[in-house]
Amino acid sequence: MARSLFRNLVTFTVMALPLFTQAQLCNGSLGDPVVNITFDVRAGSPVYTPPPGYTYTTSTCPNDGSYTITNATSGCFGNHWHTVKTDHSGHGQFMLVNASFTPSDFLVTTVKDLCPNTNYEFASWIMNVLAGPGIRPNVTYTIEKPDGTILQTFSTGDITETSAPLWKQYGFYFTTPADNAEIVLRMRNNAPGGNGNDLALDDITFRPCGPVIHANIVGHADTLDYCQDHRERFTFTGQASSDYVDPVYHWQSSTDTGRTWTDIPGATSGSYSDQPVGPGWYGYRLAITERASASIISCRIASTVLVVNLHADPLVDAGADRVLFAGDTVHLQATVTGEDPTYAWAPADGLTDLTDLNAVVSPVATVNYTLAATTPFGCSGQDAMRVNVVAGIFVPNAFTPNGDGLNDHWHIPFLDPIFGATVKVYNRYGTLVYQTAAHWVDWDGKVNGVEQATGIYLYVIHFKRGRADMKGFLNLIR
């Protein structure tokens, strides 16, 4: 089959049951899709050679007897079609069919190599793209041998129009025979073309269904929520039902919320132990197959998923320590990130709002504030900062930048950048040798890497908040 997206798959005898939107047909446990036709191919490429009566087009508004592969359609035929913004899964492409004038097949593909003597769930998602009354799509699925012998059919019946785009799932069960001969999947639109009979098709799947597989986390529920520092080795157990003759066990794990699963090396018994570490979603399941088919991955049936969620502690940053002149106020600058955390400052001294990350504080004395946060899962974090309340600024009048590690830099300890002060230092000739504004003062006694001479220097501190300038002398000693 030219340019085929479809994997070739099996021959089987079939029993049909209706599969309604979001319904679960399997009364036992399901395996992963053996075939999953998503139509997610390179834009503008046909995915198969169409049956007679249909042609491929690049237009997202195909005319009668045409189809396209697209991720959206809008404005078709005077907006008589729905505007469809995404495929069924929400992140790919779908097949868009404008039915031919006479009822005919619009998809035919060969399927082989399914697991023998296995019950399968066949399903697909279809949308009636007509936005108002008109001819309703009516699709028949047929499973047949290559010679045309019909094994089973199933019809969707009329797919009614909806006020908004709506994907509906249809399908049936079948059981494969022992010989595994090829089969043909045929999809036929039974209604005539014209005003309506237009549909979108996506996510055609074959999934094996087998006896129920029971699995659990010893001593716990099937889904657990703990904080990231929880250290426990969990034991997962499972058991095949008596319907299996000679079962083979495969424990599997996933860290991407079940999108992909990986066999755990050596985990081939009825139990498995693990200690997940670090924040994340940790999924576990038991896959089982008969020993005679153990080499065929598509024959596996999987248990329900067992989940251990390790939630991250909230990240708390109370902000830098601040300096405050007695009687003034200052805004705290904290941040908290995490899974919907609640938080509060303590103590309440000088705080107007304990739950404001940028709270205004005006303590009368120096206070150490702690910001504590907790998530709905009980995960916690905290951080502290200090508000130093000072009567004024003390300026050191000497420093020794000689590289001995003692007093090598000139600092003004309580001159907080929040004051917005400009500090300038001049040598005896009136030349500016150091300057900073709205930053902590930190001079190493150099100008452009050149050491300045021992001597007396003049400093000037200018405040932007109406405070008087401060001037004085600084002794640089080498």
Residue-wise pLDDT tens digits, 129-165:
999 899 999 999 988 888 888 878 899 999 999 999 9
Other Cβ atoms within 10 Å of 367 Cβ, number: 18
Q: Is 391 exposed, middle or buried (0-12, 13-18, 19+ CB in 10 A)?
A: exposed
Whether the per-residue pLDDT at 438 is higher than 50: the answer is yes
pLDDT digits (tens, 9 = 90+) for 341-362: 999 999 999 998 999 999 999 9
Q: What is the pLDDT of residue 47?
A: 52
Mean pLDDT of 250-274: 96
Strand 342-346 relative to strand 360-361, pairing: unpaired
Q: What is the pLDDT of residue 396?
A: 96
Spatial CB neighbours of 317, under 8 Å, sequence gap ≥ 6: 334, 335, 336, 383
Among the listed residues 84, 162, 94, the one whose alpha carbon sits nearest the alpha carbon of residue 124: 94
Candidate ranges 152-156, 168-172, 273-277, 413-417; pick with highest mean pLDDT = 273-277
Question: How is the beta sheet containing 234-239 ordered, strand by strand?
Answer: 214-217, 234-239, 271-274
Residue 457 main-chain phi, psi, to 5 deg: -125, 150
How far apart (Å, rounded) are the C-alpha atoms in residues 309 and 260? 17
Q: Spell out the domains of the chain, with CATH numbers in brackets.
A: 13-210 (2.60.120.260), 214-311 (2.60.40.10), 315-390 (2.60.40.10), 398-476 (2.60.40)
Residue 420 main-chain phi, psi, to 5 deg: 65, 25
pLDDT band at 447 (very low <50, low <70, confident <90, very high): very high
Whether the per-residue pLDDT at 87 is higher than 70: the answer is yes
How far apart (Å, rounded) are the C-alpha atoms in residues 233 and 219? 12
The β-bridge partners of 282 are 308
Residue predicted with more confidence, 149 or 72: 72
Whether the per-residue pLDDT at 6 is higher than 80: the answer is no
Q: What is the pLDDT of residue 41?
A: 65
ω into 396 cis (within 30 of 0): no
Residue predicted with more confidence, 240 or 22: 240
Looking up tokens 């793209």 gives 129
Q: What is the pLDDT of residue 13?
A: 34
Among the listed residues 244, 238, 243, the one whose alpha carbon sits nearest the alpha carbon of residue 222: 238
Q: What integer best gives the mean pLDDT of the chain?
A: 87
Reading the block at residue 96, the tokens are 């868009």
Whether the Cβ atoms of residue 202 and residue 95 lie closer than 8 Å to each other:
yes
Residue predicted with more confidence, 409 or 44: 409
pLDDT digits (tens, 9 = 90+) for 28-45: 788 888 777 888 765 444
Whether the per-residue pLDDT at 67 is higher than 70: the answer is yes
Whether the per-residue pLDDT at 249 is higher than 70: the answer is yes
What global pTM score does this model have?
0.69
Q: What is the pLDDT of residue 16?
A: 40
How far apart (Å, rounded) are the C-alpha atoms in residues 321 and 319? 7
Give the CA diameter of the chain.
107
Q: What is the pLDDT of residue 183?
A: 76
pLDDT digits (tens, 9 = 90+) for 154-210: 999 999 999 999 999 998 887 777 776 677 889 999 988 778 889 999 988 888 888
Whether the per-residue pLDDT at 10 is higher than 50: the answer is no
Instruction: Return the percentage of the chain with pLDDT > 70, whole number.
Output: 92
